[in-house]
Structure 1
Amino acid sequence: MPFEALKPEIKKIATQNNLSVDERLLNICEVLEANIEYYNWVGFYFKNGDKHELKLGPYVGEPTDHTIIPFGKGICGQVAVSNQNFVVPDVSAQDNYIACSITVKAEIVIPIFVNGENVGQIDIDSNTPDPFTEADERFLEFVCKEVAKII
């Protein structure tokens, strides 16, 4: 499904005030994973209080042991420090990659900002080599802006 067609669905989920924040985040994960063929694991990590680490939030996909990620470690930990999008076309070429599954070939991580502060990120793994484009980045930035409104 094209990204533009998914935007109203993401907005609708984000404004479902009868659901908890975690329920809405999980619903967003489910919509993304179900509608974008090469999104094989979709989840959120958030800053864990005052600690310099990320804590796993709602996600869809294979279970992961990586429920806590120190700042600077792996792709997610690097985004927590850099405050920049990180697109990895080939995870095997990354020195600081935390392997979640041998099937993962690529990853994209986009930070979530609330009042200018990086509070978390959306993390997407793909079993397809080099699938992410600038359109994915722009769409996921939109998703993160919607998420920022509800957290």
Structure 2
Amino acid sequence: MKFDELKIEVISILSSENADRDEKLKSLCQFLSDNVDYYNWVGFYFANHENKTLHLGPYVGAETDHTLIPFGKGICGQVAESNANFVVPDVAAQDNYIACSFTVKSEIVVPLFVNGINIGQIDIDSHVIDPFTEKDERFLEFVNQEVAKLF
């Protein structure tokens, strides 16, 4: 399925009137994991700016011990500070990477902005080296624009 086709379902999931925000986000994570072969772990982290920490939100994939990440630590923590997308083609080559599982080979993190403030991010791990392209970035930016409407 192409990203343009997925956008319609993203909007549908997020506009469901029969689910709360976390249920919508969990459904969205499941949808993305089910429909993009190389999206093997999909989840959201949300920022606590006062404590400078990220807190794990809804996700699908392998269990993770990384439920709290300090700003600056790992890929997610770096995105919390940079406010920019971060694509890691090969996690083994990244110095400031927090290893989640030996199966993770690459990662993409895209910040989630609400009213110009980075409130969190979508984080995707892949079991494939270097699968993410600019099309993934643009698609995930779209996803986050739609998610932002929930806040």
Answer yes or no: same fold by TM over 0.5.
yes
Name the stretch that deviates more: 24-33 or 10-19.
Answer: 10-19
Give structure 1 regions of 4+ aligned residues with deviation exceeding 3 angstroms. Answer: none
Counterpart position of 2:78 = 78
Offset at residue 48 of structure 1 (A): 2.7
C-alpha distance in 1 between matches for 2:49 and 2:80: 13
Gaps of 5+ in 2: none
After TM superposition, list the pairs within 5 Å mapping 1:4-43 onto structure 2: 4-43=4-43
Amino acid at match of 2:66: H
Amino acid at match of 1:23: E
Gaps of 5+ in 1: none
Q: Deviations over 1:42-84 (max 9, x none)?
A: 0000013622000000000000000000000000000000000
Q: Normalising by structure 1, report the TM-score.
A: 0.98
1:54 paired to 2:68: no
Offset at residue 17 of structure 1 (A): 2.7
Q: How many residues end up aligned between the 2 structures?
A: 151
Counterpart position of 1:109 = 109
Amino acid at match of 1:147: V
The percentage of counterpart residues that share the same residue type is 66
Q: Deviations over 1:10-65 (max 9, x none)?
A: 00111113211000000000000000000000000001362200000000000000
Q: Normalising by structure 2, report the TM-score.
A: 0.98
